[in-house]
Chain A
Amino acid sequence: AQKITQTQPGMFVQEKEAVTLDCTYDTSDPSYGLFWYKQPSSGEMIFLIYQGSYDQQNATEGRYSLNFQKARKSANLVISASQLGDSAMYFCAIDYSQFYFGTGTSLTVIP
């Protein structure tokens, strides 16, 4: 069974606009962690943001925020004020006994 689902293979956003990348997950374990990674064309996976399953507040890191809706099993990434350098692949992952990654969303920021 798919543990992590990213339904948007590709997204476009205008520079300086906000964009939401979708992620849903599937686990019955009450304790888990949710992560988002960015992968630019250079190939390196860069950690962006983390949300623990018991965290009451949505995680934020600069222009990144995680819209965590536990009942819906959803952990969407919101990027505010998009920049050209945000163009990359974005992966959602869940840490539950081991890491499971989604298939990724390719984000293109248009000038």
Chain B
Amino acid sequence: DVKVTQSSRYLVKRTGEKVFLECVQDMDHENMFWYRQDPGLGLRLIYFSYDVKMKEKGDIPEGYSVSREKKERFSLILESASTNQTSMYLCASSLYGYGYTFGSGTRLTVV
């Protein structure tokens, strides 16, 4: 089974901190994605990557950046965390044409 591992289940950070959310997949998938999930809004795409060192903006990239130095790892960076970035963050990976496999999510609280 494909595993997508997110390094933290729960995080609490202070406003203004730089925050790193890590995601690792073990099945050599080309595609990786970061979503945030908020009640009533569903999942919204922040950034995605189809290859190493490649990144594309999703629907809500403002305030975020990403890094993909190795195929298996896709990191989401909050340059200066703000309270409106309190959310559930979900990482996913896929092979083209197949469904996504998700990590277990990171619940981030910015205080």
Contact = CB atoms under 8 A, between A and B. Distances in A.
B107 interface: yes
A91 B43 contact: yes
A101 interface: yes
Given A35-B99, A47-B101, A50-B99, A98 B48 contact: yes
Nearest to A103: B42
B99 A101 contact: no
Contact of B103 (A37, A44, A50): A44
A56 interface: no
How would you classify the secondary structure of chain B's contact residues: helix, strand, loop or mixed? strand
Interface string A32-65: 0101010000111111001000000000000000
Interface in A62-109: 91, 93, 95, 98-99, 101-104
Nearest to B100: A99
B99 A47 contact: yes
B65 interface: no
Interface of A: 9, 33, 35, 37, 42-47, 50, 91, 93, 95, 98-99, 101-104
